[in-house]
């Protein structure tokens, strides 16, 4: 990211990735017979094609910029007071997946144009499953800049890395087989993009993490002793609950855990009947 000021102003120091300062106060300067230029901020970066980029200042929404088909956006503001400012940027893709907030702190010059470039919002990420068996495939997907190199890291005992390329809509998708991951534990995946422009290599921040569990997830245990409403008695109330879930796989009513509420479960209830 780079920060610049309009010609005729003195460049200042960067804070947290970029900033600039300019001389002069508001109105007229001593010895001038024309007004000083106004204070203006111009922010340029990338998000996702046609995404609304939300721009925050000190945690509150400042404005929204529309990204073009190539995911580029520009935002201008002439109402921000000079000085150090804390900004955040986030966007949603077409699948309604939200990026993490990308934060920057920089100095706004007085009576000058402060231009901030290189605001690269990290990619979005999602998955088609939250729980799956060892050896099954999981599809991890998201959106970034079109035609850019994507890097997906799946975290197990050691990270497993995969590389792919986003399409012309910025969308990317990875079918990942879980056979190489540790079983019966939770895992997570993150992604970032990397592109080369001229002699410079640009690397985004990480996406949010998407979590999934690999292995057999124990379901809710059957309600002990056929006491389906857990009031300490087995009576007509419990029988009514059993009938309500008849033919389903309700974990509480399925007393023998065979995946279906049926006559066997009714027989178990009769055994524990208290009236």
Let me know whether 6 and 111 are in one domain: yes
Residue with tokens 């995404």, as numbered in its chain: 51
Q: Is the pLDDT of residue 26 over 80?
A: no
Is the distance from CB of 191 to CB of 123 less than 8 angstroms? Answer: yes
Q: Strands 137-143, 126-127: parallel, antiparallel or unpaired by DSSP?
A: antiparallel
Let me know whether 188 and 260 are in one domain: no
Q: Is the pLDDT of residue 16 over 80?
A: no
For the chain, list the strands marked E by DSSP: 2-5, 40-46, 52-57, 60-66, 72-77, 83-91, 102-108, 113-120, 126-127, 131-132, 137-143, 149-155, 160-165, 171-177, 185-197, 200-203, 210-214
Any idea what the CATH number is for the domain that residue 243 is in? Answer: 1.10.1330.10
Let me know whether 143 and 171 are in one domain: yes
In whole angstroms, give the CA distance from residue 190 to residue 15: 28
pLDDT of 222 reads: 66
Let me know whether 137 and 73 are in one domain: no
pLDDT of 9 reads: 36
Q: Is the pLDDT of residue 109 over 90?
A: yes
Question: Taking each helix axis from N to C terminus, what angle separates 263-271 and 236-244, rounded to the nearest 10 degrees?
Answer: 170
Let me know whether 96 and 156 are in one domain: no
Let me know whether 138 and 203 are in one domain: yes
Which residue range forms the structural domain that includes residue 254? Answer: 224-271
Let me know whether 251 and 163 are in one domain: no
Percent of the chain with pLDDT over 90: 55
pLDDT of 21 reads: 35
Tokens of 248: 């389903």
pTM of the predicted model as reported, rounded to 2 decimal places: 0.68
- Residue 35 belongs to some domain of the structure: yes
Identify any residues that bridge with 90 across adjacent strands, giving them in sequence order: 54
Is the distance from CB of 157 to CB of 123 less than 8 angstroms? Answer: no
- Residue 164 belongs to some domain of the structure: yes
Q: Is the pLDDT of residue 17 over 70?
A: no
Any idea what the CATH number is for the domain that residue 86 is in? Answer: 2.60.40.10
In whole angstroms, give the CA distance from residue 80 to residue 40: 8
Greater pLDDT, 122 or 251: 122
Q: Which of 61, 92, 120 is the last residue of a domain?
A: 120
Q: How confident is the model at residue 270 (pLDDT cuts 50, 70, 90)?
A: confident
Q: Is the pLDDT of residue 265 over 60?
A: yes
Let me know whether 229 and 246 are in one domain: yes
Write the pLDDT tens digit of every residue in 60-81. 999 999 999 999 999 999 999 9
pLDDT of 32 reads: 57
Q: Which of 62, 94, 120 is the last residue of a domain?
A: 120
Q: How many domains does the chain have?
A: 3
């Amino acid at each position: 990211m780079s920060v610049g000021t309009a010609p005729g102003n003195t460049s200042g120091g960067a804070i947290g990735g970029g900033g600039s300062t300019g001389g002069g106060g508001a109105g007229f300067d001593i010895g001038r017979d024309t007004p000083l230029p106004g204070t203006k901020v111009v922010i340029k970066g990338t998000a996702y094609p046609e995404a609304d980029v939300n721009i925050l200042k000190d945690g509150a929404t400042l404005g929204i910029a529309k990204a073009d088909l190539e995911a580029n956006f520009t935002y201008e503001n002439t109402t921000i007071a000079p000085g150090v400012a804390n900004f955040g940027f986030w966007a949603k893709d077409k699948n309604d997946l939200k990026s993490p907030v990308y934060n920057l702190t920089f100095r706004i010059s007085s009576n000058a144009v402060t231009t901030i470039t290189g605001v690269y919002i990290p990619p979005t990420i999602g998955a088609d499953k939250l729980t799956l068996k060892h050896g099954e495939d999981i599809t991890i997907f998201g959106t970034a800049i079109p035609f850019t190199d994507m890097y997906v890291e799946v975290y197990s005992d050691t990270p497993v890395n995969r590389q792919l390329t986003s399409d012309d809509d910025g969308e990317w998708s990875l079918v990942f087989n879980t056979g190489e991951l540790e079983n019966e534990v939770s895992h997570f995946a993150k992604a970032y993009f990397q592109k080369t422009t001229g002699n410079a290599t640009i690397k985004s921040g990480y996406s949010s993490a998407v979590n999934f569990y690999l292995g057999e997830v124990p379901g809710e245990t059957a309600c002990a002793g056929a006491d389906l409403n857990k009031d300490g008695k087995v009576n007509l109330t419990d029988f009514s609950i059993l009938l309500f879930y008849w033919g389903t796989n309700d974990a509480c009513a399925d007393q023998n855990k065979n995946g279906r509420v049926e006559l066997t479960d009714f027989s178990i209830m009769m055994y524990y009947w208290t009236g």
